[in-house]
Structures are given as structure tokens and as C-alpha cells.
Structure 1
Amino acid sequence: MNLSFKKPSVDTCSKCDRINMKLKYAFVDQATNLKTLKEHQEAFKAAYEEKKANKQLAQSSEVVAVITFDLQQCLPTTYLQTNVAFYKRQLWTFNLTIHDLKTNKAFCYMWPECEGNRGANDIASCLYDFIINQLPNLHPNAKKLIMFSDSCFGQNKNSIVTTMLMLVTRLSPQLQFIEHKFLVPGHTHMEADTDHALIERIYTCQEIGTN
């Protein structure tokens, strides 16, 4: 079957790790720690179930569109493995990926660090362009947009992005409602992250000249 297994190349949840370490070594407040861990697990599982349900809704409805978006880790430009590059400062390229859950299409907004930052204004600008210019082509009948992201305050969960979304509802000829839902910190794997893994694999292979 040509199947293989590997450890997931993602960070673990700091809250889960902290509670598990207390349960393993502290031996105090075991009941409280177990309760906290259970509540945390129930919260992120409920968030994933909510995303799953909304994805199914997007598949069956013409008036609801659902997207996930996330900023990829910085991409060095160019990607070099020579030891000299280790002591040099490389140019970083940023990439915000927006994944449409109905069409399964990914849209990448990329810019170098010399042309922009990774703050709320940059994220809001990319989302604005997608909603105004791309969404009408993907979902011409959509009246409601549901967005999933992580809970990063400096990029997604702030007044700048919220204000932009309020502006979009006034400018868009089709959208009437926008819901922005945040996954539980430490458990934010989304379809956009799968796109990032593919980009990084191809990016690395092309740069070092392997297949």
C-alpha cells in the first residue's frame, strides 16, 4: 500500500503540556488539573466540530461561504543550505493563505518583508481583497461568510480586522452577514495549514534541486 508514518511536524499545545506535566510530576491539585484539562479538551474539540459542521453547510448551501486563513511561517528567500548563509541575514517572504472549504481552492497573498509587515493592517488588506475581488467569483450567491482563524491578537483577533469586516458588509453587493470564529489556542490546525505543508515541501525541494 506504500503507507508510512511519521511524527507530526507541528507544535504541541502549551496548555496541554503544562497540565500534563503537573499531573505527572506535581502530585498536587490532581482533581483541579484533570478538570481543567478536560474542559480544555472539550473546548477545542467543540471548535473543530463547529468547523466541520460549517464545512458541511458550505457544501450544501449556495448562500453560505466558509473559509479558513492563516499566516505561514516566514520563508527564507532564497533557501540556501550552505554554511555561509547561516551567518547572513536572508530576505523573508510572508504568505497569507486563504482556503475556501467548498471549492477546496487556496489563495496565497505573498509579500517580502521589505514591502510590508505581518500585522493587523496587512492581514486585513489581504482579506479585504479576497472578499471583494475573489469571493464573488467563487460564490456569486453567497449572503453569509464564515471565517475560521487562530486567536492571534496581533494579526486576526483585533479591532482593525473587525472594522474592515464591517466596511466590507457595506461595500459588498452580496454579503449581508460575516462571522469570524476563532479556534482554541494550541489547537488551530486548518486546511490552510495543509496548504502550507505542501508549499514548504515543494519550496524546499525546488531550492535545493531535489525531487
Structure 2
Amino acid sequence: MEISEDIRAKKRKRTGNVRVNAQLNKKSGNPYLTSQSKKYVPGKAAPGEAKCNCRFACTSVTVGARQKMFGDFCKMKHYNEQQSFLRGCIKTALINRRRHGMTLLGDLPVSDKRGGKRPQRNQAWKEKIVEFIASIPCRESHYGREKREKHPNKRYLSSDLNVTKLYTAFLEKHELAVLDKPPVSRQWFNEIFKKEFCLVFAPPRVDTCSTCDGYNISISTSKNPNDRRMEELKRDIHHRKAKATQTLMAKTVKDSQEPNSDTCVISYDLQQQSYIPTLTHTQMYYSTQYTCINLGIHLEDEAKGFMYMWEELAGKRGCNEIGSCLYTFITTELQSEKRKLIFWSDNCAGQNKNQGMLAIDFGCIERAKKGLKFEVPMDVIRIMATARKHKPFVITHTKKFFNWMQVAQCALMTKHLGISQAAIIKIDKKNLDQVEIKVEIKTSYCEVAPSKTVKVFKQGVNQQYFKTLIVEPTEQDIRNMKPWKKNKIKQIKDMIPYLSEQNQDFYKTIITKQEALSHGL
């Protein structure tokens, strides 16, 4: 049977692009069907009589002229043609008075309605996003220098996080990661993160625990899985010990604040060094400055802060200076009848060296420094004294220190003490009455951890020795100090002209002494 050529070559007739046809019908004012929902949209009706009452006499334009204008405009089916026609009808002129253009705006179908629809955002999901972000642990600035005055409530997230990681964790929490189009977009998540919260990602810590950093480096560089697991186990044990430290400290602080408590708790640490003078010209960023050192002591029982500040020419940051400040605090400021005294000092505690309340104290001082200029040490002291209105800090400008190292060399024998491994050193008064004075040492903060007693005093050193011991504070002799380098002397001398006149003599005196010291005078 022979098949007709018309039947054999029959093909579906192409009537054009449905989407393009719908756009052309829309621009020409004809009815059309939407491409997705197939919704029928009626065409635009031709204009009738003008209803404008303006002074331009729009009613003088006849209905026929209006309809002809409407038809000519609709014949231009492309958007660019219509826009070119409208631009030709517009005359640019300075606006002397606002006028109505109802004939142009009301008779021509110029509404674009472009841009599509925005997806509706569910408020229930917004509440979940806010709840999720609020649950992320955050902290205040360690020193407070990075806080802005406009954002006093700024908090810092871990430096290991970013918005992408938080968004991924949010999707995993609500089991949305498997969806192609989750109800929460990353853009919406980021918008809520920026507008609803005052959070930033902290820079990497520079005062982390050296033990923790050593374990992390060993884990990241280890190629053997067994060695990696061993290092991870050591790190976990170290973190558990740190957690036990925090728990024990919180317990001792809480016990000391009880009404009938017989325990006094003190924490102390060095603040970040302050450099003076603070000038605004760019050369300051490359110049060596004068250093001020501050030791913060927080009396946990009364929630009071004490600051002991000294200059770099008065002392260093060694045991003589720290011990002298503690001795001065105990003998002059500590007015307590409690019989048990606990010191918490600088150590690794969950990768956060400073104790909690001391970090707050230092943060108050750094916030007070923000935006202020200080040229001499007394300016720093004034700022510290006014940093907190409620229970202001007690400031002591220290210039003399006790030589505790000389006392230790004469009285102590620390060969078997193992001070680097000691977590708790306990000195009991009853042990001081014995012939051989011993102290109790523990290498762990666990309550059930064993302890050992170690003889730390040399032969003949007893309680009577310390009762008759006389140690006088002395001011450091500048002639026994290491002289400044010539570069530092020159840079500080170059800063003097930028200082106020009443503060220039302070640095001129220092420069004169350092130049004489460098020449051996």
C-alpha cells in the first residue's frame, strides 16, 4: 500500500513560543494566559471620556482621539518600542510646579508589573532561626578594645564559625538539608543574623593554652590513625581537667559569698600592656612606645577590683613584682577575719587564661580607654579610676617592690616540689609549727586525686625565721637596668613635639637618663 506523501511527512505545526506570545499579548493589551498557572488575564479596555478636572482641559480630547492613541500604542508589541515612544512624548524641563498628567498616565497601558513575585516568608521559620542563633555560645571581648561605642551589646562568636557553617547546622538540625529548596534560604538566614543580632566572629585567639595548641598540632599533622586517636584522648583528658578547674573555682567563689563562710577567694592576673602616648599620626603604628603594666586583683567575696600599675622602668613582669603587689594587697587592703585564703592564678582553664570576673574588670577599663588619649601614666590611672561607677577600682601606682627572689633563694628548696606540674599548693598553719615545714601538693583538681607532702624549706628555716624576717621594698636602680636601644630612644624622642607641653618633661627626663645609661655614665 502506498502511503501518501502528506501523511508520511505530517508534523506538528509550530505556533510559536507560548511564553513569548503571552508577553506580546500582555504588552499589546490583549487577553493572555499566564505561563505557569494558566490563569486567564483579560485585555485592557480602551479609554472612554476623560474624568480629569485639571486646568489643561483634558476633556477637550475626544473619545475617538483617545481610542486611536490607545490603539497605536498597543500596536507596538515590544517593550523597547513602547518605551521609546513614551520617551519621545516627554520633554525635560525644570519643575516649577507639580502638574497632573492624567491623559498620558490614565489612557496608555504602561504598567510593567515586572520582577516576579517574592516568596512569602513564614514567620514561624523566622522564630526558629532567631532561637537557633540565640542558642549559640558567645562571649564579650576578652579585653574590650574591639568593642564599638555604637554597639555596646556586641558579642563574639567562635573564630571557627561563619554564616555558612551556621546555616548548614540549622538545616541539619531541622532536617532540611535533603530538600532542594528548603523553606529557609541562606540569604534570609544571613539577613536575620545581621539585622536581629549584634554578633561578630572573633579573630583567632592569641593567648590560647600552649598544651592545647600542642595537642591540636599533633592531631592535625599525625598520619597514623592510632597516634591521632592517642593525641585526641590526651586533649580530651586535658579539657576535662580544665572543666574540673572551672567547676572547683565556681564552687569556691560561691562558698566564699555565703553569710557564715570562713573562706576568702582572690583571683589575679596581668592585663594586656598599655602603650603610651596614644597619638593619631600614622608614624605611631611603627614606633616603639612606653609601656605600663597592670596587675588586676579581684576580691571575689565582695566583688571588688584592685589594680596595681607600674611602668616599665619601675619593674618587669616577674615574681618580685607580682608577689609584691599581692603582699601589699593582703597587708593593706584585705580587711577580713576569715581563716582560709584561696588564690586563683593564671593557668589554662578551658583555653581561657583570665578568670571570669577579672576579664570583666579588664573589659571595663578597655571600654573606658576607647576613644580617649593618654600621654603619661597618670592619664592611664585616671581612666582606670573612672572606668566603673559602681564599686570603682582601687588603683595603686607602684614604684617599689620586694626582692622575694632573694628570700626564696635563702629559704626555699624546690628541687622535689615539681612546681610546673602542681595544680594545687596547700599551706596549712599547723604544718608551720613542725620542725620540718612541708606543703601539700596535688597535680589534679579532682577531689579524689591523691596528694603528697613535700619539704620545701631549707634546714633551719622555721616559723620563727619568717617572724623575724625583714624585707624592705626598694625602688629599682636605673643604673642596674638594661639600657634602651638607640632606635627606641630616637622614636620616643620624635614623639615629644606632638605631646602637650605639660607632659613633655616626663619623656625628656626619661630620654636624658637613657642616653646617659647607654653611654655608660
1:111: how far off? 1.2
- 1:115 equivalent to 2:314? Answer yes
Cα-to-partner distance string for 1:105-129 (whole Å, 9 max, x where unaligned): 1100011112222111111111011
Match of 1:144 in 2: 340
The change in CA–CA distance for 1:105 and 1:39 in structure 2 (over 3 A counts) is same
Map of 1:194 onto structure 2? 360
Q: How does 1:1-211 map to 2 (within 5 A)?
A: 4-8=198-202, 10=205, 11-28=207-224, 29-60=227-258, 61-136=260-335, 140-151=336-347, 183-184=348-349, 186-190=351-355, 191-207=357-373
For 2:285 and 2:352, the matched residues in 1 are separated by 32
Say if 1:79 and 1:204, in contact at 8 Å, map to a contact too: no
Unaligned runs of 5+ in 1: 152-182
After superposition, what is the alpha-carbon deviation per residue over 1:60-102, rounded to whole angstroms, capped at 9, x for unaligned?
1442110110011210122234212234321111100001112
Q: 1:7 to 1:69 in 2, by over 3 A?
A: farther
Distance 2:364 2:220 in 1: 36
Shift of 1:8: 4.6
Task: Give the match for residue 177 of structure 1.
Answer: none
Q: Look up the SS of the partner of 1:107 in the other structure.
A: strand
Q: Secondary structure at the match of 1:12?
A: coil
Q: 1:119 to 1:185 in 2, by over 3 A?
A: farther
Bigger radius of gyration among the two: 2
Describe the shift of the 1:74–1:45 C-alpha distance in structure 2 as closer, same or farther (beyond 3 A): same
Residue type matched to 2:223 in 1?
F
Note closer, same or farther for the CA distance 1:49–1:81 as it changes in structure 2 (3 Å cut). farther
Letter aligned with residue 343 of structure 2: M
AA paired with 1:145? L
Residue 296 of structure 2 aligns to a residue whose secondary structure is strand
* 1:76 partner SS: strand
Contact map agreement 2:239 2:350 (CA 8 A) in 1: no
Secondary structure of the structure 2 residue equivalent to 1:205: coil
- TM-superposed CA distance for 1:58, in Å, is 0.7
SS in 1 for 2:372: helix
With over 3 angstroms needed to count, the CA separation of the structure-2 counterparts of 1:205 and 1:62, relative to structure 1, is farther
Give the number of aligned pairs. Answer: 174
Matched to 1:34, the amino acid is E
Q: Secondary structure at the match of 1:57?
A: helix
1 or 2, which has the higher helix percentage?
1
SS of match in other structure, 1:207:
coil
Cα 1:185–1:117 shift into 2, 3 Å: farther
Letter in 1 for 2:240: E
Range 195-204 or range 102-111, more displaced: 195-204
Q: Deviations over 1:125-172 (max 9, x none)?
A: 110111111111xxx321111110114xxxxxxxxxxxxxxxxxxxxx
- Deviation digits for residues 160-190 of structure 1, max 9, x if unmatched? xxxxxxxxxxxxxxxxxxxxxxx55944231
Is this contact kept in 1: 2:298–2:305, CA < 8 A? Answer: yes
Q: Distance in 1 between matches of 2:245 and 2:261?
A: 23
Deviation per residue, 1:17-74 (Å, 9 max, x gap): 3333443452321221121011111111111111101011111144211011001121
- 2:413 corresponds in structure 1 to none
SS at match of 2:373: helix
The CA RMSD over aligned residues, in Å, is: 2.4
Judge conservation of contact 2:264–2:301 (CA < 8 Å) in 1.
Answer: yes
Structure 2 residues not aligned, in runs of 5+? 1-133, 135-152, 154-196, 375-521
* Mapped contact 1:150–1:185 kept (Cα < 8 A): no
> Post-superposition shift, 1:103?
1.4
Larger strand fraction of residues: 1
TM-score, L = length of structure 2? 0.31
| Sequence identity percentage | 30
Q: Secondary structure at the match of 1:133?
A: helix
Contact 2:267–2:343, Cα closer than 8 Å, also in 1 = yes
Q: CA separation in 2, counterparts of 1:23 and 1:15?
A: 12
Which has the higher relative contact order, 1 or 2, with Cα contacts under 8 A spaced 6 or more apart?
1
Q: Could you tell me the TM-score, scaled by structure 1's length? A: 0.73
